[in-house]
């Protein structure tokens, strides 16, 4: 009798633990696949290296005309970002963060992309950190979101992931200054990046994204540039 009661007790505990495990959700995975595509497609259109064939394909798929390109494309993207955020907030309310165990990879990154491109980073950063701590999301993505939050607050970033571009017009031509936003501890940032899952040093990253050598700006210098170009 004691054995049966013990077995029953462990069965109840095991079942209770199993209810905390988020089961794989194929329908949600499918929904997140589309959300990710919607998040990326207009950003892809803005890339300078997009091929004419790919550009035409996207325009056909999204019913875009030549009049929709340029400034109009940013408006379309912003509207899509807002629609994605509404969907993602409903998903979070229902499931929490849909991580790797629930939707697999790469769909576990879809919600992160939408939040990263939204004005709600501060609200959802704790959720992203929890997902990263639980291995449901790569830690480097949390690092990128934290860096973006710090940059938006005009503070030094930690991992050196955020690049800010400033645009000026000179003699009728648009000039761009892109810089890695100031880092709190630049002498040790590469070690921190490596331990956080980044494969490039900050120098390699800056060269890859901006085409220029990495320069260490102080926060004071960056804020002065920002104020001057406003």
Please give the average pLDDT of every successive group of 10 residues along the chain, which has 230 residues: 48 46 91 98 94 97 94 95 99 98 98 98 99 98 99 98 89 84 97 98 96 96 92
Q: Both ends of the chain: CA-CA distance in Å?
A: 79
Q: Give the closest residue to 41 by CA, choosing from 53, 55, 29.
A: 55
Residue 20 is predicted with a pLDDT of 53
Give the model's pLDDT for residue 12.
44
Quote the distance between the C-alpha of residue 205 and its chain's center: 16
Give the per-residue pLDDT at 21.
61
Q: Please tell me the predicted confidence (pLDDT) of residue 174.
A: 77
Q: What is the reported pTM? A: 0.86
Which long-range CB contacts under 8 A does 20-23 form with residues at least 24 apart? 21/101, 22/95, 22/96, 22/99, 22/101, 22/102, 23/102
The string over 25-49, giving b where at least 16 C-beta atoms fall within 10 Å of a residue's C-beta and e elsewhere, is beebbebbeebbebbebbeebeeee
């Amino acid at each position: 009798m004691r054995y049966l009661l013990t077995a029953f007790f462990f069965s109840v505990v095991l079942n209770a633990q199993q209810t905390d495990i988020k089961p794989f959700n194929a329908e949600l995975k499918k929904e997140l696949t589309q959300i990710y595509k919607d998040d990326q497609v207009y950003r892809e259109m803005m890339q300078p290296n997009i091929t004419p064939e790919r550009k035409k394909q996207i325009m056909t798929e999204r019913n875009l005309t030549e009049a929709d390109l340029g400034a109009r494309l940013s408006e379309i993207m912003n509207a899509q970002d807002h629609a994605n955020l509404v969907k993602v907030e409903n998903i979070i309310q229902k499931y929490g963060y849909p991580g790797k165990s629930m939707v697999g990879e790469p769909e576990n990154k879809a919600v992160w992309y939408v939040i990263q491109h939204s004005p709600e980073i501060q609200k959802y950063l704790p959720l992203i950190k929890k997902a990263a701590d639980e291995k449901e999301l790569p830690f480097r993505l949390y690092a990128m979101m934290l860096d973006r939050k710090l940059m938006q607050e005009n503070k030094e970033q930690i991992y050196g992931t955020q690049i800010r571009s400033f645009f000026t017009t000179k003699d009728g031509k648009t000039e761009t200054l892109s810089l890695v936003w100031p880092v709190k501890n630049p002498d040790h940032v590469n070690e921190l990046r490596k331990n956080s899952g980044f494969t490039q040093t900050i120098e390699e990253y800056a060269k890859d994204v901006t085409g220029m050598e990495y320069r260490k700006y102080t926060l004071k210098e960056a804020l002065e540039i920002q104020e001057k170009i406003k």
